[in-house]
Amino acid sequence: MTENELPGPDDEARVPRRVIGTPAQGTAVLGTRPATAEVETPGVTLPDPADARKAERTVTLLFFIAFLAGIAFIASYVIFQVGDIDSTGVSNAALGGSLTVALLALSAGVVVWVRRIMPKYNIVQERHEMRSDGDTREYVGKTFVAGANESGFVKHKMMRRTLLLAAAPLGLAPLVLLKDLGPLPGTSLRHTVWKKGMKLVVEGTGQPILASDFDSPGGILSVVPEGYEHDLNALAKATLILIKFRPEDLKAGTIKNWTYDGIVAYSKICTHVGCPAALYEQTTHHILCPCHQSTFDATDGAKVIFGPAARPLPQLPIGVDGQGYLIAQADFDVPVGPSFWERGDAEADAREARGNQS
Amino acid sequence: MIGTGISVNSITARRRRHPLARLAVVALALGLLGGGYAAAAPSDSTADAAVASGKADDVAEGKSLFVAHCASCHGLNAEGTSMAPPLVGVGAASVDFQVSSGRMPAADPAAQVPRKPLAEWVTPEAINQLAAYVQSLGGGPTRPTADMVDPSKGDPAKGGELFRANCIQCHNFVGAGGGLTYGKYAPNLNPATPEQIYEAMITGPQAMPVFNDSIITPEQKRDMIAYITQVRGQTDPGGFGLGRIGPVTEGLVAWIAGISFMSLAAIWITAKKRKRTSK
Amino acid sequence: MNETPKPIAGTASYLDDRLGAGSFLKRNLRKVFPDHWSFLLGEIALYSFIILLLTGTFLTFWFKPSMQHVIYDGSYQPLVGVGMSEAYASTLHISFEVRGGLLIRQMHHWAALLFVAGMTVHMLRVFFTGAYRKPRELNWIIGVLLLTLALAEGLTGYSLPDDLLSGAGLRITEGVAISIPVVGTYITFFLFGGEYPGEDVISRFYSLHILLIPGILLALISAHMVLMWVQKHTQMPGPGRTEHNVVGAPFYPAFMAKAGAYFLFTFACIAGLGTFAQINPIWLFGPYTPADISAGSQPDWYMGFLEGALRLMPSWEINFLDHTVPLSVLIPALVPMGIIMTGLAVYPFAEQWITGDRREHHLADRPRNAPVRTAIGMSGVTFYGILWLMGANDWISAYFHIGLYETTIIGRFAIFIGPAIAYWVTYRICLGLQRRDQDILSHGVESGVIKRLPHGEYIEVHVPPAEDIAEHMRGKKEIPIVPGDEDKDGIPPKGVRGPIGKLRAKASKFYGTDHVPLDGHGHDGHDEHAAVGASDKPRELH
């Protein structure tokens, strides 16, 4: 349809007008088309009045439907109240349905109007090159130079230079004003709220965790620091996943001193771009980040085994308090979450520091 | 009878239903299932009690079922083989979850065993007997009572918070499921009965981790079941749900329905009539 | 009706007395607009934008751009008693407690998807027909800016409800921003008012989303329309259409009515989607917390290619001198977007340089007649499409039971191989279509009529194609080639000297050589084409 819709001088091309490669056919099927209607303006073909009258009926019907649907919209607003999920559904269907019908009928009506009641147009208008003619350009050029000279901007050097000088700090001013958008990073990215003795509590219930209760190998839990259950800024760095292993499952990458009875705590914040890496397969011991599918081996210090993350999930040193509740032994010794410019190879530094301690 | 129960439950999984109708159906389904189990253990007050105590004749019946349908992979004494894990200590809950959802007996070994229609012999009674047998082998998680998985007794809002904290990373916020590594996947939660959801949490089937009762209490599990069943039964007030999975299907609809419709409209508006009739 | 009705005439003269509007109307009332369905595609974006302004204003009456922690007590039962931000709670309020609120919110979101989709199809139409060529390069640049701004407008918009899904997008935005070398942490801290997520980002995005970005969009869209108006629309080749005229229907009344009808269609389409297709059901997603994430979290479609790029990337990261350059974030976040947007922006100028063509073009090319351009375009579309697809690789994996890693690994190869294949295939298709045109022009079309000749032979009668179709085909224009041959002293012409000049001459020959000239002799190179465009007589069957 797309290529066939160009206005052609003749629509009777479907009949052979001239047969190529055969003896000439004469004029029987060729025929030049007789001028259709009396054309008043060149390029404007008026529609057949009978057809236009027929089309008018269609358009009228469509506009009337639009009118009724518009009324129905207003009525629906009054009739259908909202306030719970089902009544909202009904209200949405009634309001939206009537609006859609009204708009569709209106648009269809206008299209039929254009196509069958308005004339067919094939008007030709000249284009002109975008560029101005030479005289104009010359005049503008001269005027510019004259104006510049008259203003004295060229001649009075001190004035011009001080004006530019004055503009410079004022141009910078808006940027300066943006400084208070936020504090400077400082070392805040290197710490979380975890500290020695802080209890691990279950995300969603806030209950502390007895190590002896978390006793099913293959278990996992999303854990947050006590006292920060609803502090999103703290959670964005401090959320943990707690996994219970059979002690023999743990490999060298996991720091054994930092586990308790086969329970290991890793940062839940992916080292790629910070999604919670929370998807845990107990059969393969894989931790998978649902955002970009970085995969970490939970038995082996959460080292990366697939995907775009470049670093393991940091491990948090945990232990138990006097009553047997799980607590943190310290903060993470590397920054959690996505990499940033000032981070450096914090893992290497941390390894060195741990080596010095022992 | 379990056939009826399952088909009724698959209706509850559909979304565009009146919530009362849905609740009624859930209640009916639970009644059918519970009633089925009760009827299957005529000499005892509840089926669960029978399972927990491992009633002798159930255990014996269960053993013969086990030998007939399970032993080829799991070994004659459920000791496990190279093809399948041992079942000593997995508990009755595990048996009910795997068998009532049609996962076991598995058709063929694959990365993950899918839910499928139940085999002919799988009746509530047969499940009870199998469960009693496996329970008798070495204990393990027992099946929840009907009360423990009654969604109407849970608090969906509290359950929702726990659901978002612990489940959606694999099963998606509307329980639509999702992909895991090496061909495994987290299944869609819609066909799962409340009892199966509970059992999955305490037994950790396949790749799923375990959420034991001392950490996520039975009441909290019931809250989660309440949230899952309420949300999956709820109407979509904004029209068709598009699988409720968010931007992926929305984007497809915007392109396939939206842009196609607008292109057709453009073609209609600009098309020249090539008919010769109206001359 | 023989004269202007009194009220209209009165108002008109009142305005004309004060504004001199008459002479403007005299020039423009009958301004001619060429007719082709694809010329309307850009209007999808224009009208979606108008609908976005209207529905968006409605939403601001109830939306509270605040990250204040509140306990929900509205009418959506499964969230009652849950802590959430005021932004999320007010979005729930709009959805469930304002009559028509859900409809308008859904229409706003659908309009946003159609806005960018409309821009995309419009841009592809302009690209593949070469309508970006002189004098329209500036308008093309405005278009590229509009597309980029639309992405920013979309991102700042869908983040506002502060639900768990959009929050994941925000988190990824933060992860990308913080990965930028040297200034990344500062940018993040300034954007979020401190550490992520802070308490400011929703209200800041709100200002950007409802004031700054739409303001710029509105200004650029106006400029886009004015330039289109002043330069007059391009037209498809056809009978009576030349580089120096424009053939079609007048603005008043025909084009006005058509445009009006198309606006109503866009409105109806968006209202229909808002009624029958649920979008962004934030009540199912839950309030945002940085501790949780859902499987299958995707951004809106227009951000999908960035998401896909992030998923494809292997884990590269450089550490040196206590600093970190996370390439596994930087490359996917910046490179594909850079390739696509920069590529689009410089294309008209690169093409001008390669072809040396500084003429004005008002007749659009049929895509087949500029095979290299079309092939480059399709190769770009494939590049984008693969990234886009990979943004949903977890759904592909889950629904088609392909391993998750396999989809990623396939994608890593496909992103390089796919565009190359697309280039080659498109190029061959273009040449094939050109050959068909050539065939139709020289041999005519099969009429389906079998004839018996006097000596007994049967032939199928071929008839010349309809005049308009033939004219459309004969509208093929040669693509100029910069003269690269050395003169008799062995000195190449100016402009193709030196290594870059040689490259240019080579590229030009590659870009412009017509392998299927319409005169049917083919493979003669560039020099003999001068007469091709002019040969408009139907040829006899050879």
pLDDT averaged over every residue in chain C: 89
Same domain (yes/no): B36, B98: no
Contacts of A66 (CB under 8 A, 6+ apart): A101, A102, A103, A105, A106, A109
Residue C475 and residue C129: Cα distance in Å, rounded?
Answer: 12
Number of domains within chain B: 3
Cβ of B259 within 8 Å of Cβ of C118? The answer is yes
Question: For C437-449, what is the mean pLDDT?
Answer: 85
Query: How many other C-beta atoms are found inside a 10 Å radius of the C-beta of residue B102?
Result: 19
Residue C17 has pLDDT above 60, yes or no: yes
To the nearest whole Å, the CA of A155 is away from the closest chain B CA by 59
Question: For C262-282, what is the mean pLDDT?
Answer: 95
Residue A31 has pLDDT above 80, yes or no: no
Same domain (yes/no): B71, B130: yes
Give the structural domain span for C189.
37-290
- Examine the fold and report which residue of B138, B166, B197 is the final residue of a domain before the chain moves on: B138
pLDDT for the residue B55: 62
C113 CB neighbours in chain B (<8 A) are 250-251, 254, 258
To the nearest whole Å, the CA of B151 is away from the closest chain A CA by 19
User: Model confidence at A20, in pLDDT bands (50, 70, 90)?
Assistant: low
pLDDT for the residue A3: 40
Q: Answer yes or no: is B122 within a domain.
A: yes
Closest alpha carbon within chain B to C389: B248
The neighbouring-strand residues paired with A117 are: none
Amino acid at A30: L
Residue B279 and residue B271: Cα distance in Å, rounded?
Answer: 17
Closest alpha carbon within chain C to A118: C254
Beta strand pairing call for A240-244 and A220-225: antiparallel
The neighbouring-strand residues paired with B185 are: B179
To the nearest whole Å, the CA of C356 is away from the closest chain A CA by 19
Closest CB from B236, B261, B269 relative to C269: B261
Residue B16 has pLDDT above 70, yes or no: no
Same domain (yes/no): B153, B133: no
pLDDT averaged over every residue in chain A: 86
Q: Answer yes or no: is B263 within a domain.
A: no
Contacts of A113 (CB under 8 A, 6+ apart): A55, A59, C257
Residue C221 and residue B1: Cα distance in Å, rounded?
Answer: 65
B169 CB neighbours in chain A (<8 A) are 276, 278-279, 290
Residue A28 and residue C507: Cα distance in Å, rounded?
Answer: 53
Q: Answer yes or no: is B255 within a domain.
A: no
Q: Answer yes or no: is B109 within a domain.
A: yes
pLDDT for the residue C520: 55
C291 CB neighbours in chain B (<8 A) are 165
Residue C261 has pLDDT above 60, yes or no: yes
User: Model confidence at C296, in pLDDT bands (50, 70, 90)?
Assistant: confident
Interface predicted TM-score (ipTM) over 0.85: yes
Residue C531 has pLDDT above 80, yes or no: no
Question: For B66-78, what is the mean pLDDT?
Answer: 86
Q: In what order do the strands lie in the sheet with A303-306?
A: A279-281, A286-288, A295-297, A303-306
Question: For C178-183, what is the mean pLDDT?
Answer: 91
Cα–Cα distances in Å, from B122 out to A268, B48, B118, C144, C244?
41, 17, 6, 63, 81
User: Model confidence at C493, in pLDDT bands (50, 70, 90)?
Assistant: confident
Helix-strand-coil percent breakdown of chain C, rounded to 5?
A: 60, 5, 30
Give me the helix-helix angle, C184-192 and C164-178, nearest 10°.
140
Residue B198 and residue B192: Cα distance in Å, rounded?
Answer: 10
pLDDT per position as a tens digit, A74-122: 999 999 999 889 999 999 999 999 999 999 999 999 999 999 999 999 8
Number of domains within chain C: 1
Closest CB from C181, C328, C443 relative to A272: C328
% of chain B surpassing 90 pLDDT: 28
Amino acid at C304: G
**Contact indicator for A306, A296 with CB cutoff of 8 Å:** no
Instruction: Tell me the CATH architecture of domain A198-353.
Output: 3-layer Sandwich (2.102)
Q: Answer yes or no: is B272 within a domain.
A: no
Residue C238 and residue C249: Cα distance in Å, rounded?
Answer: 15
Same domain (yes/no): B52, B93: yes
Question: For B89-93, what is the mean pLDDT?
Answer: 88
Residue A208 and residue A202: Cα distance in Å, rounded?
Answer: 6
Cβ of C462 within 8 Å of Cβ of A100? The answer is no
User: Model confidence at C48, in pLDDT bands (50, 70, 90)?
Assistant: very high
pLDDT per position as a tens digit, A141-198: 999 999 999 999 889 999 999 999 999 999 888 888 888 898 988 888 898 999 999 9
Amino acid at B39: A
**Contact indicator for C351, C377 with CB cutoff of 8 Å:** no
Sequence-distant contacts of C207-213: CB under 8 A, at least 24 apart: C208/C152, C208/C156, C209/C153, C209/C156, C209/C157, C209/C160, C210/C56, C210/C60, C213/C149, C213/C152, C213/C153, C213/C156
User: Model confidence at B37, in pLDDT bands (50, 70, 90)?
Assistant: very low
Cβ of B253 within 8 Å of Cβ of C273? The answer is yes
pLDDT for the residue C157: 94
pLDDT for the residue B56: 67
A278 CB neighbours in chain C (<8 A) are 292-293
Give the N- to C-terminal CA distance of chain C in Å, as an integer. 58
User: Model confidence at B19, in pLDDT bands (50, 70, 90)?
Assistant: very low
Domain ranges (residues) in chain A: 44-121, 198-353
**H helices within C129-183, ranges in order?**
137-158, 164-178
ω into C197 cis (within 30 of 0): yes
Residue A53 has pLDDT above 90, yes or no: yes
pLDDT for the residue C540: 39
Give me the helix-helix angle, C21-28 and C6-19, nearest 10°.
110
**Which phi and psi angles does A296 have, rounded to 5°?**
-125, 145
Sequence-distant contacts of A29-36: CB under 8 A, at least 24 apart: A33/A9, A36/B279
Residue C182 has pLDDT above 70, yes or no: yes
Give the CATH number, domain containing residue C141. Answer: 1.20.810.10
Q: Answer yes or no: is B169 within a domain.
A: yes
pLDDT per position as a tens digit, C124-156: 999 999 999 989 999 999 999 999 999 999 999
Which subunits sit against B, judged by 3+ Cβ pairs under 8 A? Answer: A, C
To the nearest whole Å, the CA of A45 is away from the closest chain C CA by 11
Beta strands in chain B (DSSP E): 178-179, 185-186
Give the structural domain span for B195.
146-233
Closest CB from C194, C326, C360 relative to A183: C194
Beta strand pairing call for C323-325 and C445-452: unpaired
**Contact indicator for C34, C248 with CB cutoff of 8 Å:** yes
C270 CB neighbours in chain B (<8 A) are 258
Give the CATH number, domain containing residue B121. Answer: 1.10.760.10
% of chain A surpassing 70 pLDDT: 89
**H helices within C159-302, ranges in order?**
164-178, 184-192, 201-207, 213-231, 256-276, 282-285
B170 CB neighbours in chain A (<8 A) are 279, 290
CA nearest to B212, candidates B223, B222, B220, B201: B201
**Contact indicator for C398, C323 with CB cutoff of 8 Å:** no
The neighbouring-strand residues paired with A126 are: C245
